[in-house]
Structure 1
Amino acid sequence: TMSDPEGRKNLGELVADRPERLFHVGRLDTDTSGLIILTNDGDFAQRMAHPSYEVDKTYVAEVEGEVYKRIGKQLLEGVTLEDGPVTVKRVRIVEASARGSIVELVIHEGRNRIVRRLLDHVGHPVRRLTRTAIGPVVLGRLKTGEMRDLTLDELGTLLDSAQL
């Protein structure tokens, strides 16, 4: 978020020198790293985060245990959590072994800790979680706290997705 009552590092500190107000597209919990898009357009930020606009959000999760194809199928068919049903758009098992697995998930929702709760629900608690993409915008080699401008192609695709 843009501020933290507990004094932890936050987005507001990274952009404190910017004169305009900035909005974040979605948010990441404190145990998750990865891509966040910042914009000066609040309507755009809200639309990008809303599931009805079906903007892909891609996550890579390192989880406990070996993830089998049937787990991927279960996630694609949908899982009911305590706050309602969730469907994953795409699942890819990157690596799987008894020591742990790496799974890539694409979702449209941004409910609180949704990826962690999904994977817990199917028996694979998350050890590490990274959001690697929002729509066409990919984290790539950006490190924590680094920023870059969107390309015109990325911006155009995102604006189309947000129907703006």
Structure 2
Amino acid sequence: MDNAQDDLTNESNEPNEPNEPNEPIRLQKVLAAAGLGSRRKCEVLIESGRVTVDGQLVTELGSRVDPDNSVIHVDGVRIAQASGHVVLAFHKPEGMITAMSEPHGRSCVGDVFADYPVRLFHVGRLDGDSEGLLLMTNDGELAQRLGHPSYGIVKTYVVRAAGILDKTDIAQLASGIEIEGRKVAVTNVKVMDTTSQESVLEVSIHEGRNRIIRRMFDEIGHPVTRLVRTQVGPIRLGNLSPGQHRELIRQEMGRLYTAVGL
């Protein structure tokens, strides 16, 4: 099946029309407002049987929906509507504390977003010695689900570790290492580069316990010297520099909400 993202443009060719709050409006207009292309392209999506509303397939162009409360999917991916929720991708620098306030005066995430127009909080944590992707949002339900192990959100890291990892080390990471009485395994591990003194790997894991990757590498005798989180679920760090952030576009929001069943 073709993916709806193939048809994406961020502009509609038709002017917006005012609507009263919660007034049902045409489905193709909601799709266009969500960035899925011109109204005509959105009509094609509907007619092609690629759109569901509240779990029901919709192919009639005259269909109207509640723009605030209807749950709309295109090719199985939920579209993000104008709910007032925001999600930011933030590149947390090394040395910054993952907290919205810090009584001891250390640099913290809350300092960066103190003047943001809406109140944000961080999704999960990155320890102070690590850097990389940290999601910020004002949606409590989304944050709770992203952090709950039952949703199986995979997080990916680039790990720089002391020494050269051999096949036995890699097998240990994949099969599981006992940490505090519970076995923890990575879901994927790939060696990206090695030198005479260190290894660089890409590691993916469901587990979210504090410093878990560092502790796993300590157990196999290869301490981590640098740790960068590059992905959370479908959201990638991309080319954000440390300290920079960006707001997720609606297509990314849709994929993120779909990943946790919202």
TM-score range, shorter chain: over 0.9
1:39 and 1:125, CA in 2 relative to 1: closer, same or farther beyond 3 A?
Answer: same
CA contact (8 A) 1:34 1:131 kept: yes
The alignment status of 1:8 with 2:106, answered yes or no, reads yes
Output one character per residue of 1:5-34: Cα deviation in whole Å (capped at 9) or x when no partner.
221111111111124221211111110000
Query: Gaps spanning 5+ residues in structure 2: where?
Result: 1-98
State the partner residue of 1:103. Answer: 201
The alignment status of 1:140 with 2:238, answered yes or no, reads yes
Distance 1:69 1:45 in 2: 36
Partner AA of 1:109 in structure 2: E
1:6-155 map, 5 Å: 6-155=104-253
State which structure, 1 or 2, has the greater radius of gyration over its C-alpha atoms.
2
1:35 and 1:83, CA in 2 relative to 1: closer, same or farther beyond 3 A?
Answer: farther
Deviation at 1:83, TM superposition (A): 5.0
Q: Structure 1 residue runs of 4+, over 4 Å off?
A: none
Compare relative contact order (CA 8 Å, sep 6+) and give the higher one, 1 or 2.
1
Output one character per residue of 1:27-62: Cα deviation in whole Å (capped at 9) or x when no partner.
111100001010101121121122221111011111
CA contact (8 A) 1:50 1:109 kept: no
CA contact (8 A) 1:67 1:97 kept: no
Distance 2:186 2:260 in 1: 20
Q: TM-score, normalised by structure 2?
A: 0.60
Partner AA of 2:219 in structure 1: H
Output one character per residue of 1:46-91: Cα deviation in whole Å (capped at 9) or x when no partner.
2112222111101111100001232222111111112522121100
RMSD: 1.3
1:83 and 1:43, CA in 2 relative to 1: closer, same or farther beyond 3 A?
Answer: farther
Q: TM-score, normalised by structure 1?
A: 0.94
Distance 1:20 1:56 in 2: 27
Distance 1:5 1:126 in 2: 28
- Percent of residue pairs identical: 48
1:149 and 1:19, CA in 2 relative to 1: closer, same or farther beyond 3 A?
Answer: closer
Partner AA of 2:170 in structure 1: G
Partner AA of 1:25 in structure 2: V
Distance 1:2 1:121 in 2: 32
Distance 2:104 2:127 in 1: 14
Query: Gaps spanning 5+ residues in structure 1: where?
Result: none
Distance 2:249 2:166 in 1: 37
1:101 aligned counterpart, secondary structure: strand
1:83 and 1:39, CA in 2 relative to 1: closer, same or farther beyond 3 A?
Answer: farther
